[in-house]
Amino acid sequence: MSRLPRTTALLLASATALPLLGAADSSAQVRSPVRDFGRTSVRSGIPVDAKRFTVTSPDLVNGRFPQTNWANAFGCDGGNRPLRLEWRGAPAGTRSFVVTMFDPDAPTGSGFWHWLSWDLPATATALGDTPPPGAVSGTDDAGLRGYLGPCPPAGDRPHRYRITVYALDTASLALPAETPPAVTAFTMSGHVLAFAQTTAVAAR
């Protein structure tokens, strides 16, 4: 494993000390009281002067996930197939891409990262079931590797899922796959040239 910068290493050590939601039993149903929760603002990690490009998914229908893309854990019985994504218009100077899916409506106080994949090559224009060679399938907020589909608490308000493709000015984040999502996002934030984003909704 490559040596991490001191700041990143400290964050990694701190974050990995926390218990991971999926470490004990990823098949257990996560229940949350059906009630309203307060809101808190979270910084996006995207520079205000970052350029925009375009991302689409042939899987999303009217902004909704088909059953094949829902989670197959925590009380949901979807296929947990990663969303297929296609993007275009990334700026010159892009050296790699990162793909994420984030639920800002999860009642955690800090949202919920469902998917992080980084070190996608600068030549990539799509992502399917299998990441390209050299790409890293990172760890989500459930402590699981790779894609985790939506599975909001039953009876809760509809949750938004922000699917984002980031164009970076570095070829590699040099992070191991087990890096916690917050550390990955922090490390990435200093390298964002541009981003593309689409939002899907899920409820049950």
143-156 pLDDT per residue, tens: 999 999 999 999 99
What region, left, alpha or beta, does residue 45 occupy, with left being phi > 0 and alpha being psi -120 to 50 degrees?
left
Q: Looking at the predicted structure, is the pLDDT value of residue 15 above 60?
A: no
Q: Taking residues 127-150, what's their average pLDDT?
A: 95
What is the second-level CATH architecture of the domain 52-202? Alpha-Beta Complex (3.90)
Q: What is the pTM of this model?
A: 0.81
Query: Whole-angstrom Cα distance, residue 19 to residue 147?
Result: 20
The domain locations on the chain are 52-202
Report the alpha-carbon angle 94-169-121, nearest 5.
Answer: 50
Q: Looking at the predicted structure, is the pLDDT value of residue 50 above 60?
A: yes
Q: How confident is the model at residue 28 (pLDDT cuts 50, 70, 90)?
A: very low
For 64, residues 6+ apart whose C-beta sits below 8 A from its C-beta are 200, 201, 202
Percent of the chain whose pLDDT exceeds 70? 79
Query: Whole-angstrom Cα distance, residue 103 to residue 114?
Result: 7
Q: Looking at the predicted structure, is the pLDDT value of residue 3 above 50?
A: no
